[in-house]
Amino acid sequence: MEYFLTEQQKTIKALARRIAEERILPVRAELDEKEEFPWAIMKDLADADMFRVFIPEEYDGLGGGCLELCLVVEELSRVCSGVAISYAATALGCSSLLEYGNEEQKQKYLPDVASGKRLAAFALTESTAGSDASAIKTTASREKEGYVLNGTKQFITNGGEADIYTIIALTNPERGSRGASAFLVDKDTPGFSFGKKEKKMGIRASTTRELIFRNCLVPEENLIGKEGMGFIITMRVLDRSRPGIGAQAVGLAQGALEAAVDYARQRIQFGHPIYSLQAVQHMLAEMATQVEAARLLVYAAARTIDSGAKDFTEEAAMAKVFASDTAMRVTTDAVQIFGGVGYMRDYPVEKMMRDAKITQIYEGSNQVLRSTIALELRKRRARRE
Amino acid sequence: MGIQIDLDKCVGCGDCIPSCPLGLLEIVDEKVHLNDGCTLCGACQEACTYEAIVIEAVAEPVPVSDSHQGIWVFAEQRDGKLRNVVYELLSKGRKLADTLKTELCAVCFGHNIDDISQLIAYGADKVYLVDNPALASFQEDLYTGKLVELIQEYKPEIVIAGATSLGRSFIPRVAAILRTGLTADCTGLEIDLERRLLLQTRPTFGGNILATIICQTKRPQMSTVRPRVFKKNMPDETRKGQIIKVDFNKEGITSRTKLISFIEDLTERVKLEDADIIVSGGRGLGKAENFQLLEELAAVMGAALGSSRPPVDDGWIPYSHQVGQTGKTVCPKLYIACGISGAVQHLAGMQTSDIIVAINDDPNAPIFEVATYGIIGDLFKVVPMLIAKLKG
Amino acid sequence: MNIVVCLKQVPGTTEVRIDSQTNTLIREGIKNIVNPFDTYALEEGVRIKERYGGKVTTVSMGPPQAEEVLREAISVGADEAILLSDSAFAGADTLATAYTLARAISKLEQYDIIICGRQTIDGDTGQVGPELAEMLGIPFVAYVSKIEGIDNGYMRVQRMVEEGHEVIETPLPAVITVVKEINMPRLPSLRGLAKAKNAVIPVWAAQELGVDRNTVGLLGSATRVIKIFFPQRVHHGEILQGELDSQADSLVNKLRQARVI
């Protein structure tokens, strides 16, 4: 299929694929087994300028947009989506800064992200606040020297590995969802510590941790935007990052599809490759079609964002929902096609199936996003009247 | 330039196409077309029965001065002991010298070298011995300078040396100074008596192709030969020959590089090159620890431990155990290849072994094509069986 | 530090097989690549530049398409590239190749370290490095597996020999050839790829080098190939049959009979 990528986009995609195949592929099983954060690969990505892809040129970046980021995430995820999300989470972690930060903040933090020197993370979720983001309890009380943070964030990707954290906390608990603000917090800030590393079903190379704030003083210049903008920033930043999760899901599904096709071609049963069985062919055809549709929806959403559109909530949600559901379905079918050996850890597809589940859950569960889409749909139709 | 295709003679049969090692020929509009990159090797000229391809004739060679006579073998030594390859080259050199009816000389640099007379026993008529403490260990510049000096004085027509790390290091420098031709890693040396030329055959393209090379207009004709390629004769202690001591004037040649220290690789218990039996492992072993199984087999057989390239690349075993194109060439009585597929680059290092046993669970592995005995099976089952049977 | 790295574009022959029926090379899917050993040489050159400052210039002698390897080199850190290309250079043996490279490098005037890979995968001779050193009249160290340090016009290296490693000190300028054990070559970066795409790579022909056509290429070669043929592999061997256990028995017996064990 022709994706109408520019020369630069093709170069980025090709280099990401090379990194995935030469550096990630040989170690992905081990990273999954040992649940190790892929530092060496983060360095390879940094050396290849991959972190510059989502940073503007004035901060040492290459000025790419959402589509460029999606191309990298997709290629990395095709080989290991745990590694891919470690990379993508950094983009999410500085997205608030990119969209709403002031010049001093950008100059201070972005060049280090561009060079890959420092990774980033975004922290919203708490034990009481998953889909119900407004139920967060972490507070940021205004003091003379800045803001003092108290509370615990849960399930934060890159928690403990990243140096730069975007934290959403309540500056004004009485105002509910209009009382939250976004802060930049450095890793070694006193009062900021980490909980245990979570043991997950999948994306085990990615590190997921609790962030614990006990009277953590954050300087006032680290407030992003204005007090009270916390949720607006969150909504926008998550909208912007959803195609990236879609890309993670597409890459994952693609990897599973390729593995299933290769296996079906060489597995002989009843004297023939199982690819000759119509049941298998139809499964693969369905898988391939779904992956292609998911990819196109993700690319279209990314291009919509890059075109400067003011509103892309619906497109971003659709891309993420469709792609993640596709990834779950395709990876499950891939295991089915592999049969017994697909269940064994020596083969790559069971990991892919375990990795897929989270894409339906995080960054907005697919149930919440369906409600979002329905709401946007109604709003659009209502505007016509 | 160089190569001409006569399109009138060309009938478009395409016989030349598979002959080109670089795949540069193709049929375009029913005639053959040559793409860029031709190295003028001449394979297509040979393949064409219509004489449509002509490599521009090199200008008639200037007759070489008859004053170049004799075959020289560089007798490499380490720590005062002559290397085995020297005896192999002398054995081959003796045959070449007899064909050319000329003398065979050994040239040796070092200090207090054992058994110089062995050089004569293995076929040398003369030995040029340069014995000096300064030459005890390999000093690039000193060896290069002295060999050039001797060649310029005594004018041999052929000089052969072992393709050891020393040989491959300084012999090319000698050739460059003399502006003469050098052919590396020869697997075959013959004489074209009519033209009084050394025909040097060597593998290229990773061993996929053999090329025969001549050095027509320059002297001496120089070759390096890998250890274990030629077999050494039985020494004849009754042979007579001359040992000529040559002075070494240290003022004349200085060494620019300095040897600071030597770090020995101590993991080789039995030296690979000298072993009669080698047990070798490849990628099929799966992981570094599994070499222990082969070590057990090697211990029972009194064998040395070898490896193909992938385990060395992955750090499972040090490079000194590597057999193959970029490793060691071995020619033991028995070579047992376990979990080795038999890529051309590995075969280049061991295919002249007397008996080759291959154990691999892939029936299509190329190693079976050169194996004397092949067992298609899981090496983790077969090797313990062999160990048990050899012990019991 | 002015670092020069010599590169060669070669056919990707490592996976090549012989079609045993027609006795020809199976060439499908073989494309041109940079000689793998040269990537290690280039990586080491870039590392020296990163450590000590300076510039990396890559040189390659070949047909026009050899420019690809020079662009690849720029994408992984080379600063400049020069292609030596002329029909007069074709058919060169190692002597003529070394001479041509030497003339080009002399034209650069400034060079401290010249790095080559230990051998090419098509020629496999490993001769161009040492011959080049001799033509430039500078010292040479082969099979370098580690550069320990560069100080005051001297370089200290480890080189591989059969029994282990030697530590050698050489004055600069010098030529070294390197083995794969020395480093792991990096992947290109996006900025490197952009730089490579836009780079202007000069092409020097015999005229620019000021060489007589009789001293280069086929005419300047001391050796030439008179015959090419494919090795005959005659298969004398036997695949043992039966249960693995009895195969093992059979093997041990045969080896005992042959007096090998």
Is A15 an interface residue toward C (CB < 8 Å)? yes
pLDDT of A67 strictly over 70: yes
**Side chain identity at residue B70, one-letter code:** G
Q: Please, what is the average pLDDT of chain B?
A: 88
> Are A218 and A235 within one domain?
no
Q: What is the mean pLDDT of chain A?
A: 96
Reference C223, options C125, C135, C103, C76; nearest CA is C125
CB contact under 8 A, C251 and B169: no
Whether A105 is in a domain gets the answer yes
> How many Cα atoms sit within 13 Å of C65 on the Cβ side?
12
Q: What pLDDT does residue A241 have?
A: 96
CATH number for the domain that contains residue C35? 3.40.50.620
The residue among A65, A56, A74 whose CA lies nearest residue A312 is A65
Structural domain includes residue C257: no
In this structure, are A191 and A309 located in the same domain? no
Average pLDDT rounded to a whole number, residues A266-273: 93
Domain boundary among A96, A114, A132: A114
From A197, A228, A259, the end of a domain falls on A228
Q: Is the same domain home to A184 and A267? A: no
What's the DSSP call for residue B382? H
- Domain span at residue C53 reads 2-215
| pLDDT tens-digit readout, B267-305 | 665 678 878 899 999 999 999 999 999 999 999 998 999
Give the distance, in angstroms, between the CA of residue B380 and the centroid of all CA atoms in the same chain: 34
Residue of B nearest to C254 (CA): B373
A334 and A364 co-located in one domain: yes
Touching check for B205 and chain C: CB below 8 Å? Answer: yes
Residue range A291-333, pLDDT digits in tens: 999 999 999 999 999 999 999 999 999 999 999 999 999 999 9
Read off the pLDDT band of B349 (50, 70, 90): confident
pLDDT at A50: 98
Banded pLDDT at C227 (limits 50, 70, 90): confident
B26 touches chain C (CB under 8 A): no
Active site residue A363: yes
For residue range B55-109, list pLDDT tens digits in order: 875 555 555 667 889 999 999 998 899 998 999 999 999 999 999 999 999 999 9
**Could you tell me if residue C157 is inside a domain?**
yes
Q: Which of A97, A114, A131 corresponds to the end of one domain?
A: A114
Q: How many domains does chain C have?
A: 1
**Residue A348 vs residue B231, higher pLDDT:** A348
Asked whether the predicted pLDDT for residue C233 surpasses 80, the reply is no
The pLDDT of residue B132 is above 80: yes
Residue A272 lies in domain: 231-382
Q: Tell whether C229 is covered by a domain.
A: no
**C-beta separation of A238 from A184 below 8 A:** no
Determine the residue of chain A that is closest to C192 in CA distance. Answer: A48
Same domain, A238 and A206: no
Q: Give the pLDDT confidence score for residue A353 in this predicted structure.
A: 98
A254 and A355 in a single domain? The answer is yes
Quote the pTM value: 0.84
The total of structural domains in chain A comes to 3
Does position B45 have pLDDT exceeding 90, yes or no?
Answer: no
Q: Are residues A306 and A368 in the same domain?
A: yes
CATH code, domain carrying A312: 1.20.140.10
Residue C154 pLDDT greater than 60, yes or no:
yes
Q: Are A170 and A192 part of one and the same domain?
A: yes
Q: How confident is the model at residue B344 (pLDDT cuts 50, 70, 90)?
A: confident
pLDDT at B353 > cutoff 60: yes
Q: Choose from C190, C195, C198 for mutation: most chain A CBs within 10 A.
A: C190
C249 domain-assigned: no
> Could you tell me if residue C109 is inside a domain?
yes
In tens, the pLDDT along B221-277 reads: 999 998 878 888 899 999 999 999 999 887 777 788 888 998 887 666 567 887 889
Query: What does the pLDDT average to over B2-6?
Result: 84
State the pLDDT at residue B64. 61
The answer to whether residue A1 is domain-embedded is: no
pLDDT band at C235 (very low <50, low <70, confident <90, very high): low
pLDDT at B20: 80
Q: Where does the pLDDT of residue B49 fall: very low under 50, low under 70, confident under 90, or very high at 90 and above? A: confident
C48–chain B nearest CA distance, Å: 20
Q: For residue A152, how many other CB atoms are within 10 A of its CB?
A: 16
How much is the pLDDT for C144? 96
Residue C182 has pLDDT above 80, yes or no: yes
Q: Spell out the residues 6+ positions from residue B269 whose beta carbon is closer than 8 angstroms to its own.
A: B304, B305
Look at residue A17 and tell me whether its pLDDT is greater than 60. Answer: yes
Q: Would you say residue C248 lies in a domain?
A: no
Closest by alpha carbon to B184, among B205, B213, B208?
Answer: B213
pLDDT at res. C145: 94
C234 inside 8 A of chain B by CB: no
Which range is least confidently modeled, A23-32, A147-156, B59-68, C223-232? B59-68
Can you give the pLDDT at residue B61?
Answer: 59
Higher pLDDT, C32 or A58: A58
The answer to whether A207 and A174 have CB atoms below 8 angstroms apart is: no
Task: Residue A72: give its domain's CATH number.
Answer: 1.10.540.10
Q: Is pLDDT above 90 for B134? A: no
- C248 in Cβ contact with B374 (< 8 Å): no
* CATH code of A171's domain: 2.40.110.10
**Residue A62 near chain C (CB below 8 Å):** yes
**Are A132 and A108 contained in the same domain?**
no
Q: Does the pLDDT value for residue B389 go beyond 80?
A: yes
Do A273 and A337 share a domain, yes or no? Answer: yes
* pLDDT given for residue B51 in this prediction: 87
Chain C hits for A19, CB-CB cut-off 8 Å, are: 187
CA atoms in the 13 A half-sphere facing the CB of A9: 17
Inter-chain residue contact C261 with B301, CB threshold 8 Å: yes
